[in-house]
Amino acid sequence: MILYELATGRRPFLGATGAELAAAILKEEPTPITALVQQLPRPLWHVVRRCLQKQPERRFQHGFELKSELEQFPRESPDVASEPAASIAILPFTDTSREKDQDYFCEGIAEEIINALTKISGLEVAPKTSSFSFQGSSLDSREIGRRLGVSTLLGGSVRKAGDRLRIIVELIDAERSAYLWTERYDREMQDIFAIQEEIARSVADAFSVTLSSDERGSLCCVSTSDVHAYDFYLRGRKFYYQYRRQGIEFALQMFSKAIERDPGFASAYAGIADCHAYLYVNADRDEAHSRKADEASLRALELDPSSAQAHASRGVALSINGRCDEAEHAFEAAIRLDEQLFEAFYFYARMCFSQGKLQRAAQLYDRAAKLRADDYQALLLMAQVYDDLGEPENATSARRRGVRVAEARLELNPDDSRAWYMGANGLVALGDRERGLEWAARALALEPGEPMLLYNVACIRSMAGETEAAIDALEQAFARGFTYKEWVDHDSNLDAVRDHPRFKNLMASLS
């Protein structure tokens, strides 16, 4: 409450009498500080709001957590003149097609609009992963806007039948739950790029944002002119982010089909490289995968040397081939081109961890975590690095945040096995052994033969003191294709079983 008053000059709850004040504290939600003082950084409202949560367990549990959050903000006074004129979140569009099989397409349209709007200096756009976390949510627009710290929401629906599209778009004033405008597009599939550009322009017009010539050009910059290649690419990306073998194999098929339609589609080549790299280290140590990852990433760069995504994919391909110095240059190039590209920081951090460069890994995971407010992976992996660096307070803070994000993810996606097993790791490390093992069992029940899942279950059981069960899971992971020896060598989660003869034999088999 003191922090709220320091920021705004007023108290969060008001009442003429003691009874009215008590009622306000119990029942009312405070006005966002950014609505009262517009030049305040919006992330600060997330911190203050969490301090004011009515349930104690939803507040910060330790001063170190609050300190860590506040240290993310710059010490300089904000430049009021440079503050964005408006803030917006793009929600995933609803699939109203008869077959209900266009969720990947709906997400793709929303993401392209996000990418276009983030290039406009007069707008503050919520990150994709934050806004997409409300997919299927029953919360009203006012609550979604409050949680995302934005004043407006863009949503809508897509109905696709053959090559015909009907897209309905709605711009909503989140604070008043009122429509600012709606638009309907009845077009052919081939018009999808023009529709996305029109929507982005309409949003800019709604906020009276004057576009520079570069910004106007960026709105109509598309990665391919073939709408069918684009459709295959969106399907592939949806499968890739499942981070499991079957999903990666489906993604590879989709990216390959995109290339068949458009041999000059750089993003699809980057996707192919990422798929082969994943399979090589996590499912199938076939040299063909490392070679194809190398070839596809090179082709992506040849087609679009200005693509941050292509440079990041090149970094991944080089890292799995042991060319880490070159990979570092590729990741750094990706970051220079796009400081908001989560994948560049995340996969760069993973490579540094596998090399034992823990301080650099922690920095990169931290950058990745700040880019995606709803990503549990970077937070939980960063927590382990902090433990290895001898920084237990930072480790605990990151781990608690990671578990909370995983819990939020599972509320909306209870079949996300990765959230179950990574959250399980965090829970066991925090001392909640039984709940952690229960989460690991939930993950195993969903995908009992997934190599990466089995490896993580081995780590969880090792941390929980179940030595034989940990090595059993590790044997299964290796048998099914997990062979990332460099990672295993530096994974402190397995320290409890390293002296076991069975573990030594397993490691010898990877040499």
The CATH topology of domain 413-511 is 1.25.40
Between CA 82 and CA 65 the distance in angstroms is 29
Strand partners, 317: none
The pLDDT assigned to 78 comes to 45
Q: Is 165 helix (H, G, I), strand (E, B) or coil?
A: strand
Query: In the chain, where does the domain assigned CATH 1.25.40.10 lie?
Result: 413-511
Distance of CA 417 to the CA centre of its chain: 16
Give, in words, the CATH class of 2-81.
mainly alpha
Query: In the chain, where does the domain assigned CATH 3.40.50.10070 lie?
Result: 84-222
CB 123 within 8 A of CB 88: yes
Half-sphere exposure of 308 (CA within 13 A, CB side): 14
The pLDDT assigned to 221 comes to 59
- Which CATH number describes the domain made up of 84-222? 3.40.50.10070
Between CA 452 and CA 454 the distance in angstroms is 5
Low-confidence ranges of the chain (pLDDT < 50): 77-84
The pLDDT assigned to 83 comes to 45
- Write the pLDDT tens digit of every residue in 148-166: 888 899 988 999 888 888 9
CB within 8 Å of 314: residues ≥ 6 apart = 273, 297, 298, 300, 301, 327, 330
Between CA 378 and CA 491 the distance in angstroms is 15
Query: In the chain, where does the domain assigned CATH 1.10.510.10 lie?
Result: 2-81
CB 275 within 8 A of CB 251: yes
Between CA 72 and CA 59 the distance in angstroms is 18
The pLDDT assigned to 220 comes to 57
